[in-house]
Amino acid sequence: MRNLKEVGFLSVKRLASADLDMIEQKIRPSGFYHQKAARLKGACTAIESNGGLDEVFSLSERRLYQLLISINGIGRETADSIILYGAGKPALVVDNYTWRIVSRLYGSKVRYDYSALKSELEEKTRRSVRLYRNMHAQFVELGKKYCTKNNPKCVECPISKMCDYQKNRR
Ligand code: SF4
């Protein structure tokens, strides 16, 4: 980011028109720089060709999601993160922490389908940017502190009483 900033590339417009080799050079320390540079430039070009960032962020959530998901390198979780944090619109982000925690909480009742889990969580909650950002942060925190990939700390976990995984361990 510092490298990009130094050459004034921290803007969608500039990145869209920048030379690919130059972007590669600047982001080289982040690894996978060939692929990342091409995707970064491609995403910025797509945004520019749709009227620029302000125009794109003023689209409805649904249209914004469709546009983002059509861009090479942007998956569902990234699209929802851009909508929630970039555009400031209520999109619930389902990341690895969310999957792990929800699947342990509800066990076999959880279907491994991004859209299905997202819709289910959205149905159960008020649509709110603040709430969704908070939920995302809480899932990350819980996943890092207690519900770790290996050896989850169920005894100390604040939601252990409602967790299938913990009940089945006893
Ligand atoms: S009780 Fe254990 S498995 Fe359940 S959410 Fe907490 S840490 Fe994860």
Which band of pLDDT confidence, cut at 50, 70 and 90, is reported for residue 108? Answer: low
pLDDT digits over 117-154, tens only? 899 899 999 999 999 999 999 999 999 999 999 999 99
Where does ligand 1 bind, in terms of residues with CB under 6 Å?
A: 101, 104-105, 146-147, 152-154, 157, 159-160, 163, 165-166
pLDDT value, residue 112: 75
Is residue 170 predicted with pLDDT exceeding 70? no
For residues 76 and 143, state if they share a domain. Answer: no
Mean pLDDT of the region 82-101: 95
- Cα of 15 vs centre of ligand 1, distance in Å, is 43
Q: How many domains does the chain have?
A: 2
For residues 80 and 103, state if they share a domain. Answer: no
Sign for the CA dihedral angle at 58, 63, 68, 71 comes to negative
Last residue of a domain, one of 30, 58, 86: 86
Mean pLDDT of the region 112-120: 87
Q: Residues 16, 51: contact at Cβ < 8 Å?
A: no
| Nearest-5° Cα angle at 120, 117 to 123 | 150
For residues 107 and 67, state if they share a domain. Answer: no
Burial code (b: 16+ CB inside 10 Å, e: under 16) for 1-29 equals: eeebeeeebeebeebbebeeeebbebbee
Q: Residues 98, 65: contact at Cβ < 8 Å?
A: no
- Domain, as residue range, for 25: 2-86
- Taking the C-alpha atoms of residue 67 and residue 27, their distance in angstroms, rounded to an integer, is 25
pLDDT digits over 17-69, tens only? 999 999 999 999 999 999 999 999 999 999 999 999 999 999 999 999 999 99
- The count of other CB atoms within 10 Å of the CB of residue 64 is 21
- Cα of 164 vs centre of ligand 1, distance in Å, is 8
Is residue 168 predicted with pLDDT exceeding 90? no
